[in-house]
Each structure stands twice: as structure tokens, then as C-alpha cells.
Chains A and B, each alone.
Chain A
Amino acid sequence: MSHVAPHRLASYARGAATAGATPGWAGRRHARIERHLAGCPACARALARLRDARVAMDAIASQPAPELRWDRIRAQTYWALGQTGSRPAVAPPPALAVARGPRAGRARWWVPVGLAAAATAGWLAFGRTPSVTRPPATIAAPEAPPPAGPVAPAAVAPLTAVVTLVEGESTLTTVDDATLVGGSAIGAHRIVAGDRLATGTGRVAVQFDAGSTITVGAASTLVFTRFDVGAIELTLAPAGRVDVEVSKRGPDQRFLVHAGARTVEVRGTAFRVERQAQAVAVACEHGRVAVSSAGAGEVELGAGQALAVPDDGLLDGRRVRPMSAAELDELLAARPAALPQWTDADTVVRTTVTLPLVVPATRTISIDGVAVGTGSLWRRLPPGRHLVEAHDERGRLHGSRWVDLDGVAGEKPVAVGTEAEPALSATGTAAAQRQRLVELTRALGQDQLRGCVRSLAKQGLATGTHVELEVGVLASGTIRYLNIVGTDLPDGVAACVRDVVGRARLGRGAQVSWRHHITF
């Protein structure tokens, strides 16, 4: 006996309600399937499964939108739109892209070919004229080195950077020898050549271009030795760490970082330079950097490569090593996101707002879902509504709030995660805990608990499994919190168990919390 094909069974399941009334060929096919089903348990089982799947598909069709972090998505959308200049645009969906690609491609390659053909034809037609100089037959000598001695200052426009993040206690010594301490004071200052930034336990980030940021690491001192359109020279003195992301520079624009005897030169890249105890470490996330030293040679680093070299060591390509994924992640996380829209420093300062945050020293702060630092910090942001969250080192949320920044109300410190934490360890007397434990055990729906592990039980996998819950009960009997702290069950099944426990009804009594074990 041959079985009914599943897709025909599915069609039958969909139209079974009207099968009797279906005229013609379709009706005859339905009748034939019905006759087959009457004598074939395998097909009947398959039909039952397909019916369940049909119900699930109908449920999917009416599935509402899940709750998302809407404000965070909106903020990230605007950030993505603002980053168009420095990052690749989001590819349009395939069907929308069909109309464009090939034509544009064809148009591009004809241009140089046409120009080359025209140039060749012109050269053949008119021959060489006395005014045309042939290229030299020999290889040109390398360019002469720049003359030694004082060089007349070039007329280049100075650059100005805007401070975007101040984490912990930091100090800025301006070119005029004024000393600024703390986020608000440093943040109000525009960084120019000659300024010196010294950090304590946290970082300071500055931005000077769309997508170009300099992040000074903890316990570091960075001097903006030269800071103009022609060149940027930063000096780590005497020690410290700097993470740099710089957008593509022009051929005549230099970017150098001096660390002891070493100089790191870049063109459009993201990298880190760290100088500690008579040694320099350089790590390149993307792009290329050249590490050089007078009399010690030069080494070039590519994307994902790192180099550590003592001050008196020779620069040698063999010291270059590939970075691990964890190192690359750490490098990426060290740089806070740049402000999305950049025109010039004055405009950015005028159109952005600042937010001082007060949090316990061990808390990690996220703004709009992006981790920005640890402990109290000061951050420059686009105006609007922002979600600020404080997490502990294990990722547990300890406070969150919306902050509306309109730039009018002025800079007011915002406290997050400073409220007293709920007591998560066991509380109450042992007798009170035992009483509540017994009460909860009696109140639990045992059938419902077994239902949670039914599918596992069918496979013989449920026996011996357990869920450990942290239960907090108020004096009124309301379950205050219910956390899964340990289980060897799949997440979905453990959540089902937690839901069953959460539905238990308890009476008035002691306010206690305890660890509740459920073993199957």
C-alpha cells in the first residue's frame, strides 16, 4: 500500500471541513484520501502532526510584535544613518537592488577604456611633439630627505577636538597651564595643540572628525604635541595607552603617535599604542600602521596584528604576532562610539548635550544598549531620550531609567543603580523559611510541573533533572521575585517550571527568601 504524500495530506487537512461539499476532481481526491486514512494508522498520525503544524502556522500568522527596546533601535538607526560617511551603507535587499547594479558597472568601465582609446588614437594621429617630455628610462632617485634644522611653520589650520567621554577622575592641563579636573570641566574645553590629558582609573575620549576618535586609557598621559590639518602628533609621556580610530587621511596628512623611542604612523585605521615599563606594544585592529625607531628599523602591522618590543630591542618583523579574537574584541570595546554627525567642533558642542552619570564604582553603564564605561562618568550625546542602564560584573541589571536630554535644562547629574538592591540571599528565620517552603511545595501544581517535562520524560531524560529557584515572598504572600539560579533542563522547560511556581498562591505569613529545589 502506498501512502498519501504529506503535501497532499496538508491540503486535505486544510480543506477537510468542506471536503464533503467539494465538487469534481478535488472532492473525489479527498474522498480517496479519507478511505486511505481509515485503514492507515501511519498516515493518520502524519495527518495529526500536520494539523498541529497548521494550527501553529495560523498562530504564527497572528503573532503580535514582540516588545523590543524601541528607543534603543531608534537611536541606533539614527547612528547608522549618521555614520554613512565613514562606514559602508547597509546593502539594500536583493530585489530592490536589481534595477541598479549592472548598468552602473558598465558605465564605469567604459569611461577609462574610452579615454584610453581616445588618447591612443590622438597619439598615433599627431605623433610626439617637441613639447611632450618622455618619461625617464631610469628609475627615479628617491626623494631627498627633508632639510635638517628649523623649518618655517606651515600655514595649516589648527584642529579642535571635542571631549565625548570622561570616565573616573581625570585631569587636563591646557596649553595655557590651566588645570581642569573632572568631567564637566574637561568636557567644556575644546582640545587644541599643546593640551595634556592625564587619566586616573578611567578613560577620556575625544573626537576631532567624523569617525575619528582618540581614547586615552586608564593611568595614561597623552600630549597633543601637534594638532592641525597637516599633521597630528600625539605623545605618550611618560607612559600609558591610547586607542585611536582615524578616518582616511589625505596623502599629505600625517598621523603619528610617539611612545618613548618608537613612532607609530598611520593612514586611516584603528589601533592601540601602549607604553609601559621600558616597552611599547602596538595592536592594529584594521588598516595598516608602521612602527619605526631611529636606528632600529621599521615594522609594518596589518589588520589583526600586534607587536610588543622593549625600548632597546630591534624592530623585527618576527615580533609581529596575530591577535586572538578576544584581544580584537577588547580593542573594539575600548573605543566608545563616535558622535554620529560631525560638522565642526563648535557646532557639535552647540548641538549635543552632556550627561553626568553617578553610579557605584563597580557598575557598568550602558547608554541606549551600548556599554560606555564603568563607574561614574560624563558623556556627550545627541539630544533626545536615552536609556541608561547599570549592570554588575555578572551582567545583572541594577537600575535603569530614561533620561530626556534637551540641552536646555543644563547639566544635572543622573543617578542610576544606586538604589538599595533587593536582598537576594536567604532572609528570615530558618523556621519561617521552612514554613514557607512547605506551603509553596503544597501549593505547586504537580501535574503542571510534570507537564513541563513531559516531552523529556517520553525520551527518558526527565528523571533526576532539577531546577533551583531563588524565591522571595512578601508578608502578604505575594511572590516578590523568582529567579532560576541553577538547572540542568533546557531553558524553555526551566521557564515553564518557573511559571508554574509563579502561579502558586500563598497566604499571609513571614517575609522570607530562600533557595527552592525542585527535582523530577
Chain B
Amino acid sequence: MLTLVARTPSDTSGATRVGDRPLASLPERELVERCNTGERAAHDELYHRFRRVVAANLFRALGDRQELDDLVQEVFVIAYRGLANFRHEAQLATWLYRICVNVSYGRMRTRGRRPPPLFVDDLEQLANQSSATERPESPERALERRQDQARVYATLARLPAKKRIVLYLHEIEGRDLKDIAELIDSNPVTVRTRLFYARREFYKLLAEDDAAAGGEGTS
């Protein structure tokens, strides 16, 4: 049963006031160093700075809200464990993005062995939590938007994980071949080939619902 009665914690959503975060202004390098000494407050600060970015990355890649809590946790566990090896060659956000991509890719691969998930519910839950700052949208339009997005995710889910991650990074995230190759530890030529076949398959599946002109070939 759904209820509209407000819950006290949701109002804050775990938000922390700046005054409660003594390390809020700490530079990234120093923050990492203090994390590596095991300082709990530094871990808290790192989590607070990047939690929404991590959640958004994972949610965009997978379109699935049900497992999002676990995945965000997984990313931060990996990050905390690997912070000692972080050499500041890239920004912390870039490093975390790479972990997000790999966690998403891992989840896509395991998901491929399970029945396809239902995405509409996940998108529903997100839509029901739209914040007061969002532009008002008619329920009808919101439903159409959710259905379109659900169709994109459902089609993505039909692709093998290797193709799916490449297609997602290129077509949705707008990453170029070199970036993608670095993110998934591959080379640009492989990525280009994979992307070609992924696009061909993905758009064919998307257009299939309208394939009333059956029997005729495509060029």
C-alpha cells in the first residue's frame, strides 16, 4: 500500500548541513590522505561529496532502482579499499566514475544470466519522488516519458553486456571511443567494432515494434 503521509527522515534524506561537516572545504588530495589514515570523518565527507554522483551514474547505466542501494554501497566499499592505491593522476570523481562503470558492467553481466527485469516499476518509484524544484509535469506526460525510458532500458537489457556498456557510454553518456576504451580496459579499435554491432542491434530492436512492413529488406 502506498501512503502519502510524510516520513520525517525522508524530509532530510540523510542530508547533512554544511555546519555538520567540518571537512567540507578540505581539498581532495588532503581528504584522500586523511581517509587513508582511517579517519572516520574523512570517510563520511568523501561519501557525502560523491554519493549522489555515484548513485546517478549507476542509475543511468542500469535504469534499476531496486538494487541501487547495494550498488552504491559496493562502489564505496571498493573505493575505500582502493583509496590507498589512488595516485591522484585523475580526479577522484573520474576514478569513482570508472568504478561505477565497472560495477555496472559486472551487474549487466550477472543480469544476463537472469530473467529480464521490469524497469517500469523502478522508473515509477523515481518519478514518485520528484522533488518540489522540478518543473510540474502532467501525469499523462510523465507516464509517456517513463514508458519511453523503460523501452530504452528494456531494449538495452536485450543486448549482451559487452555491447550494452559500450552503447550506453557512447549513445547516452556521449563518451568518445578513446574514453570508453580506457574506462572498460579495452582498445579503441575493439570498442569501435563493438559499438558498430551494438548500434545496429539496438536500433533494430527499437524500431522492430513498428515493423509492419515485414518481408522487405533494409539497406
- Does chain B have a CB within 8 A of A42? yes
- Does chain A have a CB within 8 A of B31? no
Decide if A6 touches B203 in the complex (CB within 8 Å).
Answer: yes
Contacts of B218 in A (CB 8 A): 2-6
- Does chain B have a CB within 8 A of A293? no
Decide if B1 touches A7 in the complex (CB within 8 Å).
Answer: no
Decide if B143 touches A485 in the complex (CB within 8 Å).
Answer: no
Supposing A71-B14, A94-B105, A496-B140 touch, asked if A56 and B149 sit within 8 A by C-beta, the answer is: yes
**What is the interface of chain B, defined by CB distance below 8 A to chain A?**
1-5, 7-10, 12-15, 43-44, 47, 51-53, 55-56, 59-60, 63, 65, 68-69, 72-74, 76-78, 80-82, 98-99, 101-103, 105-106, 109, 120-121, 123-129, 131, 138-140, 142-143, 145-149, 151-152, 155, 171-174, 183-185, 199-200, 202-204, 206-207, 209-213, 216-219
Bound together, the chains give a CA A495 to CA B203 distance in angstroms of: 30
| Distance from B159 Cβ to chain A, minimum over Cβ atoms (Å) | 13
Query: Considering the complex, which residues of chain A in the window 1-52 have a beta carbon less than 8 Å from any beta carbon of chain B?
Result: 1-10, 40, 42-43, 45-46, 49-50, 52
Decide if B81 touches A56 in the complex (CB within 8 Å).
Answer: no
Which of A57-65, A119-127, A172-180, A407-415 is the contact stretch? A57-65
Question: 1/0 per residue A469-512: CB within 8 Å of B?
Answer: 00000000001111111000011110110111011000000000
Bound together, the chains give a CA A490 to CA B124 distance in angstroms of: 11
Bound together, the chains give a CA A46 to CA B213 distance in angstroms of: 10
- Interchain pairs with CB closer than 8 A, number: 246
Contacts of A461 in B (CB 8 A): none
**What is the interface of chain A, defined by CB distance below 8 A to chain B?**
1-10, 40, 42-43, 45-46, 49-50, 52-53, 55-57, 59-61, 63-74, 76-78, 80-81, 89-96, 98, 369, 387, 394, 396-397, 400-402, 422, 448, 451-452, 454-455, 479-485, 490-493, 495-496, 498-500, 502-503
Residue of A nearest to B152 (CB): A56
Supposing A6-B218, A69-B69, A498-B2 touch, asked if A80 and B142 sit within 8 A by C-beta, the answer is: no
Bound together, the chains give a CA A153 to CA B6 distance in angstroms of: 62
Contacts of A94 in B (CB 8 A): 102, 105-106, 109, 185
Other A-B pairs, 19, CB within 8 Å; known A2-B219, A90-B77, A496-B140: A6-B203, A46-B207, A53-B206, A55-B148, A56-B145, A63-B126, A65-B51, A66-B68, A68-B68, A71-B14, A76-B73, A91-B106, A95-B98, A96-B185, A387-B9, A400-B8, A402-B9, A491-B120, A496-B143
With beta carbons under 8 angstroms apart, the residue of B65, B173, B203 that contacts A66 is B65
Bound together, the chains give a CA A479 to CA B200 distance in angstroms of: 49
Bound together, the chains give a CA A434 to CA B36 distance in angstroms of: 65
Decide if B59 touches A6 in the complex (CB within 8 Å).
Answer: no
Decide if B143 touches A61 in the complex (CB within 8 Å).
Answer: no
Decide if A60 touches B152 in the complex (CB within 8 Å).
Answer: yes
Contacts of A2 in B (CB 8 A): 216-219
With beta carbons under 8 angstroms apart, the residue of A80, A96, A401 that contacts B73 is A80
Supposing A49-B210, A66-B68, A484-B2 touch, asked if A61 and B73 sit within 8 A by C-beta, the answer is: no
Max count, chain A CB within 10 A of own CB: residue among B10, B47, B209: B47
Contacts of A74 in B (CB 8 A): 14, 44, 47, 51, 76
| Distance from A311 Cβ to chain B, minimum over Cβ atoms (Å) | 45
| Distance from A247 Cβ to chain B, minimum over Cβ atoms (Å) | 20
Decide if A66 touches B77 in the complex (CB within 8 Å).
Answer: no
Decide if B14 touches A70 in the complex (CB within 8 Å).
Answer: yes
| Distance from A6 Cβ to chain B, minimum over Cβ atoms (Å) | 4
With beta carbons under 8 angstroms apart, the residue of A60, A67, A93, A500 that contacts B129 is A67
Bound together, the chains give a CA A366 to CA B210 distance in angstroms of: 48
Bound together, the chains give a CA A483 to CA B4 distance in angstroms of: 7
With beta carbons under 8 angstroms apart, the residue of A70, A396, A491 that contacts B51 is A70
Decide if B1 touches A401 in the complex (CB within 8 Å).
Answer: no
Decide if B5 touches A63 in the complex (CB within 8 Å).
Answer: no
Decide if A10 touches B203 in the complex (CB within 8 Å).
Answer: yes
Bound together, the chains give a CA A92 to CA B80 distance in angstroms of: 12
Contacts of A45 in B (CB 8 A): 210, 212
| Distance from B192 Cβ to chain A, minimum over Cβ atoms (Å) | 14
Decide if A60 touches B102 in the complex (CB within 8 Å).
Answer: no
Contacts of B12 in A (CB 8 A): 402
Bound together, the chains give a CA A491 to CA B125 distance in angstroms of: 10
With beta carbons under 8 angstroms apart, the residue of A65, A78, A402, A492 that contacts B120 is A492
Decide if B56 touches A61 in the complex (CB within 8 Å).
Answer: no
Contacts of B5 in A (CB 8 A): 422, 480-481
Decide if B139 touches A483 in the complex (CB within 8 Å).
Answer: no
Bound together, the chains give a CA A479 to CA B2 distance in angstroms of: 14
| Distance from A177 Cβ to chain B, minimum over Cβ atoms (Å) | 41
| Distance from A68 Cβ to chain B, minimum over Cβ atoms (Å) | 6
Decide if B199 touches A7 in the complex (CB within 8 Å).
Answer: yes
| Distance from A54 Cβ to chain B, minimum over Cβ atoms (Å) | 9
Supposing A60-B172, A95-B185, A496-B140 touch, asked if A53 and B129 sit within 8 A by C-beta, the answer is: no
What are 30 A-B pairs at a CB distance below 8 A?
A1-B216, A5-B218, A6-B204, A7-B199, A7-B202, A9-B203, A50-B206, A53-B155, A56-B145, A56-B149, A60-B63, A63-B59, A63-B60, A66-B59, A67-B129, A69-B69, A71-B14, A77-B73, A77-B80, A80-B73, A90-B78, A95-B98, A96-B82, A369-B69, A396-B1, A479-B4, A491-B124, A492-B121, A499-B142, A503-B139
Bound together, the chains give a CA A5 to CA B127 distance in angstroms of: 34
Contacts of A369 in B (CB 8 A): 69
| Distance from A269 Cβ to chain B, minimum over Cβ atoms (Å) | 25
Bound together, the chains give a CA A98 to CA B187 distance in angstroms of: 14
Decide if B10 touches A67 in the complex (CB within 8 Å).
Answer: yes
Supposing A53-B152, A402-B12, A452-B139 touch, asked if A81 and B77 sit within 8 A by C-beta, the answer is: yes
Decide if B105 touches A57 in the complex (CB within 8 Å).
Answer: no
With beta carbons under 8 angstroms apart, the residue of A60, A91, A490 that contacts B149 is A60
Decide if A72 touches B56 in the complex (CB within 8 Å).
Answer: no
Bound together, the chains give a CA A67 to CA B10 distance in angstroms of: 9
Decide if A6 touches B206 in the complex (CB within 8 Å).
Answer: yes
Decide if B69 touches A72 in the complex (CB within 8 Å).
Answer: yes
Bound together, the chains give a CA A454 to CA B9 distance in angstroms of: 36
Contacts of A49 in B (CB 8 A): 206-207, 209-210
